[in-house]
Amino acid sequence: MHTFLAGYVAEARRRGDPNPVPLLATTNYDDALERAFNAEQQSFDVLAYIADGPDRGKFSHISPDGERIVPTDPLRYAGMRTEERPTILKLHGTISEPSWESESFVISEGHYVDYLTTDVWRAIPFQTVRVLGSNHLWFLGHAMRDWNLLVVLRRLGALPARRRAWAVQLNPDRVDEMRWERENVDLIAIDLVSPALSSLRNCGMLWHATNWTSQTGVGVE
């Protein structure tokens, strides 16, 4: 999935779209998505939640050159470049190898309680929140059972979807179908590694061929 996303961005840029996917939101801790983008030689920013330490409850901005900034005023922070390159939003924090200095992620029960009982969403720079609200959304491999992510997306105003949105999920049950429908999200029941999905990327159709999705925020489980 990570290779697919990075490959799509690289292909779309080659076709003339400077930033086809301005935002990728993930609850994963690992750096697989970052490594996939590096392998495609694509620049990106990382915005990662901080679960411990003096900056707990804030987000750390890591620029393409490795500079790390913790915005003190997310509403006015202007350091994101969503119009130029993708931002990887790591909602539960990140594990950074081989250096573990910036490692911080939501893993314990206490972390989850803190995460959901404080205004975590207010710590996300407004530039990033605006992207969520002004673009179409794709949820890739995300199940509606991940209620903690749904809470955050609702508080950010991304759900219920105000613009057309899609979810790609393998073998959804009736509960999934009903919940996606309630959030105004169209469900596509196929495997993320399906040849059909890969072929869309290869021919440049995944977002490009539908004019109303020229820029898309992507939710990644």
pLDDT tens per residue across span 130-145: 887 778 888 887 777 7
Identify the segments of the chain with pLDDT beneath 50: 97-103, 105-106, 199-216, 220-221
Is residue 206 within 8 A of residue 186, CB to CB? The reply is no
**Sheet with 23-26, edge to edge strand ranges:** 68-69, 59-62, 45-49, 87-90, 23-26, 216-220, 136-140, 165-168, 185-188
pLDDT at 79: 92
Is residue 220 within 8 A of residue 1, CB to CB? The reply is yes
pLDDT at 143: 73
Distance of alpha carbon 111 from alpha carbon 187, whole angstroms: 31
pLDDT at 3: 85
Q: In Å, how far are 98, 148, 152 from 119, measured between CA atoms? A: 31, 13, 9
pLDDT at 197: 54
- For residue 51, give the nearest of 129, 110, 121, 97 by alpha carbon: 110
- For residue 133, give the nearest of 108, 106, 161 by alpha carbon: 161
pLDDT at 203: 37
pLDDT at 40: 94
- Domain ranges in the chain are 2-220
